[in-house]
Amino acid sequence: MSKAAAPDPGRQRRPAIDTAGRRWLLLVHQLPPTPSNLRVRTWRRLQELGAVAVKQSVYVLPDNPESREDFEWLKVEIEGSGGEASVYSAEHVDAAAEAALIEEFRRARQLAYSELASELQRLHRAGQSRQPAGRRRDLARYRQRFAAVERIDFFGSAGRDRVVALLAEIEAASSAGDKKSKTQRAHDGSTQDYAGRLWVTRPRPGVDRMASAWLIRRFIDAAARFGFLTDVDAAPANAVPFDMFGAGFGHQGDRCTFETLQARFAIRDAAVTRLATIVHDLDLKDGKFGAPEATTVGATIDGLQLSCADDERLLEHGMVMFEALYRSFADAIRPPRPRAVAASKRRPNRRK
């Protein structure tokens, strides 16, 4: 038997309880004064299980194997903290009292569905003002909350279908917004629109972010400024995210961010392309190009990360390194200059 420490949003919804021959489980507990947070912990746990209070310190659930397991583990937790708890099974309950109890279960779940629906309506109205990554996180969070309520909806409470419909509407709108955003970005490849911008990425830059920052300042935005954020939704309105999940310039298909930028801004430079093979192999680790310099460059970046605690300083050092590599590659690729033919003009010997 596994301990049911908390509801799992991935678990299947509990089947509706058969009204014929219903049995109930009761948990009766007595909590010690210490630890002081035990009472709050126990109350929250009972709310997660969907239990209803019938009187002080007496809670009830429909009798089924999962509810019995949940109550038994809560009993173990209470007793382990110095309290007392007992689990009882009840078969004979007055019909009127039982009807009131079922209505209380339904009312609690209906209230939870109503709260979810109100929040989802506000989220839906916010619409495209949220970044795609933020919308996806919101949707995932609300789906988890819905699953947790649905799992303890023992008697088919009203309001569930409204939440399901809202989740579907938000997901459809989010997908449409993502496609529109990707289409807009796909046609946006002019460097004029990126002059003097703030480019934001994740902290502790590695090979792809270092190389991309160098490429941005070298070929796209000579006056580029760089900032670091853990949450892309916190970026200023005019900032350009790169190598951040769900927004701005990032991985596309089997391309790393450096390759995406190179393709988007049509940077056709043999030395840049050679750099791209190194960045790709180090970042994606698929050995696609077998770049011989990758091991050395990777070790150098590891050393920079160990020696630079400040992210701005780390990025600048990385950009200097890629500038040096670029110049070395460009010089090696450049055709040799033709040797100047020294036309020695010798004066004719004049015989006297």
The domain spanning residue 60 has which CATH number?
A: 3.30.70.240
Distance, CA of 150 to CA of 157 (rounded, Å)? 9
- Give residue 349's pLDDT: 54
Which is it for the CA torsion 108, 114, 118, 121, positive or negative? positive
- Judge if 152 and 255 occupy the same domain: no
Q: What is the total count of domains within the chain? A: 3
Based on the domain organization, do 238 and 315 belong to the same domain?
Answer: yes
Contact 41, 28 (CB under 8 A): no
Residues 197 and 290 in one domain: yes
Q: What is the pLDDT of residue 347?
A: 53
Please indicate, yes or no, whether residues 63 and 123 belong to a single structural domain of this protein: no
Among candidate residues 127, 160, 186, the one where a domain is terminated: 186
pLDDT at 137: 80
Residue 129 lies in a domain: yes
71/74 Cα distance (integer angstroms): 5
Q: Are residues 149 and 275 in the same domain?
A: no
Note whether 213 and 147 are same-domain residues. Answer: no
Starting at the edge strand found earlier in the chain, the sheet holding 58-62 runs 52-55, 58-62, 24-30, 84-90
Same domain, 150 and 78: no
Q: How many CA atoms lie within 13 A of 226 on its CB side?
A: 25
Shared domain check, 31 and 74? yes
pLDDT mean values, one per 10 residues, the chain (352 residues): 38 46 88 88 93 92 91 92 92 83 94 92 72 74 90 91 87 61 47 87 96 96 94 87 88 91 93 96 92 95 94 96 95 67 49 48
Assigned domain for 11 exists: no
Claim to verify: residue 208 and residue 326 sit in the same structural domain: yes
Is residue 200 in a domain? yes
Yes or no: say if 272 and 280 are a contact pair by the CB < 8 Å rule.
Answer: no
* Within-domain flag for 343: no
Say if 15 falls within a structural domain. Answer: no
One domain, residues 157 and 238: no
Last residue of a domain, one of 186, 221, 240: 186
Domain assignment present for 16: no
Together in a domain, 197 and 325 = yes
| Residue 242 and residue 307 share a domain | yes
- For 136, the domain range is 115-186
Burial of 308 per CB tally in 10 Å (0-12, 13-18, 19+):
middle
210 within a domain of the structure (yes/no):
yes
Residue 332: predicted pLDDT: 86
DSSP calls for 256-290: -HHHHHHHHTT---HHHHHHHHHHHHHHH-S-SS-
Residue 3 within a domain: no
